[in-house]
Amino acid sequence: MDTRAIYSPKKTSRSEFINVRGLKYHVRRWGSEDAPKLFMLHGSRDLSASWQFTVDALQQDWQIIAPDWRGCGLSEWAQSEISYWFHDLIGDLHQLIKHYSPDEPATIIAHSKGANVTQHYAGLRPERVRKFVNVEGFVVGTLDPQYSVRRMERWLARMDLGPAREPRYDSMEVFAERLMRGNPRLPADRALWLTRQWCTQQPDGSVLQHIDPAQKRGGIYYIAEGLECWKRITAPMLWVEGGSSGHMKRIHDRGEYDMRKATFKTLVGFEHFAEASHNVHLDEPERLAAVSEAFLLRT
């Protein structure tokens, strides 16, 4: 890997910190403050910086608001792993929207877990979401009633192992190579840039990832509850899926694809990225920016 080749962002972000339900949240901002507001919400164990490549490809000036979820990136870690359960993020999103968009409904692009949080919130508070680009957010959970039971069993078993260890890697290059293995369409220069946002180098040369390892121990998700929320959404929604997504394959294999899709009554657009994995925003950020903007600007 050529460590000299590091991506140079076209648009510069700025950071700010706000209190969200007792935790110091890091929020990354792009664009002018008089531009239309656009929330961008990352997925599980990700961070706001991973939206940089999509942001760089957007053509209109947006006032972008992209938080690091609790325990991710530069946001504060919760004091208990119980505070990483799914519903805590719904509460965090509620407070974030109240803070940044108190007088108008939010326009949102969200990926994976962030999209799951959004579609729950959009069902619980339909008047607070104007439009929503759902990037692979419909793939979590299963209709199997034993799913949640097994998740709770694993949660209890992990408690017996003691505190989770922080993820440590030998070098920035090792972490970047790991990113590229998981996202084969992610170029090396972008992987290195993202690594530098995600990790801190230690005196011994190793790097620590900015993530609370306790996140892996929470997150019980009830799909039946989700389906009821999805039915209540009133915001127009664009569905974006990756053609090589393992998550998408699983819901096809379980015969749940058509049922999940039909649950969204306000689905007005569909985009299939044949070559993309679950992380569409890393594999094809330029196309994601184009289809999202076309949808969001459509009257």
CATH of the domain at 292: 3.40.50.1820
One-letter amino acid identity for 215? Q
Backbone angles phi, psi at 271, to 5 degrees: -135, 120
Mean pLDDT over 93-120 rounds to 97
Per-residue confidence (pLDDT) for residue 41, from 0 to 100 = 98
* pTM of the model as a whole: 0.94
| Cβ proximity of 246 and 184 under 8 Å | no
Residue 264 clears pLDDT 60, i.e. is over it:
yes
Share of the chain above pLDDT 70, in %: 95
Number of domains in the chain: 1
Question: Per the domain annotation, does 291 fall within a domain?
Answer: yes
Mean pLDDT of the chain: 91
- pLDDT of 81 over the 80 cut: no
Contact status, residue 135 vs residue 245, Cβ threshold 8 Å: no
Q: Kindly state the average pLDDT of the residues 126-144.
A: 88
Residue 148 lies in a domain: no
Find, among 298, 297, 277, 276, the residue nearest to 287 by Cα: 276
φ, ψ dihedrals at 98, nearest 5°: -60, -40
Quick one: pLDDT band at residue 219, thresholds 50, 70, 90? low
Asked if the structure places residue 276 within a domain, the reply is yes
Asked if the structure places residue 93 within a domain, the reply is yes
In a domain, residue 45? The reply is yes
Domain that holds residue 93: 14-142+219-297
Q: What is the pLDDT of residues 147-163, one digit of tens each?
A: 778 877 877 887 777 77
Task: Please check whether residue 102 lies inside any domain of the structure.
Answer: yes
Residue 247 domain-assigned?
Answer: yes
Give the whole-angstrom CA distance, residue 171 versus residue 262. Answer: 45
Quick one: DSSP state of residue 212? -
**Cβ within 8 Å of residue 30, ≥6 positions away:** 11, 12, 13, 14, 55, 62, 63, 64, 66
Angstrom distance (rounded) from CA 59 to CA 264 = 28
Question: Does any domain span residue 213?
Answer: no
